[in-house]
Amino acid sequence: MSVTNEFFKENVICGVRVGTMSSSDTTKWCKPSPPFVKINFDGSVINSVAAGGFVLRNELGNPLIAKALNLGHNTIEVAEALALQEAICWAKRKNFSHIIVEGDSKVIIDVVQGKCKISWNLRSILEDVN
């Protein structure tokens, strides 16, 4: 098992919000409780050109690290996976050991939690994360 794999399993809590919202629903970002930091990651694809990014925030909600990634021609799943991979790498570099991860990609969250099989195109990205 890789070092990142072990880090993820020991230090990360994953969350995903799935469902439909009516116009009267409001979603509010919640601060992590100490000693946790929170990573929010996302990916986007427009005309087959992908971008991704993440924000890592402390218990006060203040950004500690924020990055945007130009990911070239990719799928949304690859963009989301690369954004998560980059976020975890930065968290490790900064020696954060208590991390909550939130994202809107049920596929990516399920893969890192071991709830579904990993597809071939995500294997090399996520095998070092989950």
* pLDDT band of 14, cuts 50, 70, 90: low
Q: Indicate whether 27 belongs to any domain.
A: no
Output the pLDDT for position 4. Answer: 53
Q: Which of 99 and 27 is assigned the larger pLDDT?
A: 99
The residue among 108, 97, 4 whose CA lies nearest residue 54 is 108
Structural domain contains residue 32? no
In-domain check, residue 109: yes
Average pLDDT over residues 59-67: 96
Of the candidates 54, 56, 58, the one whose C-alpha atom is nearest the C-alpha of residue 36 is: 58
Q: Tell which residue, 11, 2, 1, has the closest CA to residue 92.
A: 11
8: domain CATH number is 3.30.420.10
Is residue 31 domain-resident? no
Q: For residue range 26-60, what is the model confidence (pLDDT) as tens digits?
A: 678 899 999 999 999 999 999 989 999 999 999 99
Does any domain span residue 91? yes
Amino acid at 115: K
pLDDT of 11 over the 80 cut: no
Is 18's pLDDT higher than 60?
A: no
Which residue reads 């990609």 in tokens? 105
For residue 64, give its domain range.
3-15+41-126
Q: Is 4 exposed, middle or buried (0-12, 13-18, 19+ CB in 10 A)?
A: middle
* Residue 93 maps to a domain: yes
Looking at the structure of the chain, the number of domains it has is 1
Question: What's the pLDDT score for residue 118?
Answer: 83
Split at pLDDT 50, 70, 90, the class of 67 is: very high
Q: Is residue 77 part of a domain?
A: yes
Predicted TM-score of the model (pTM): 0.79
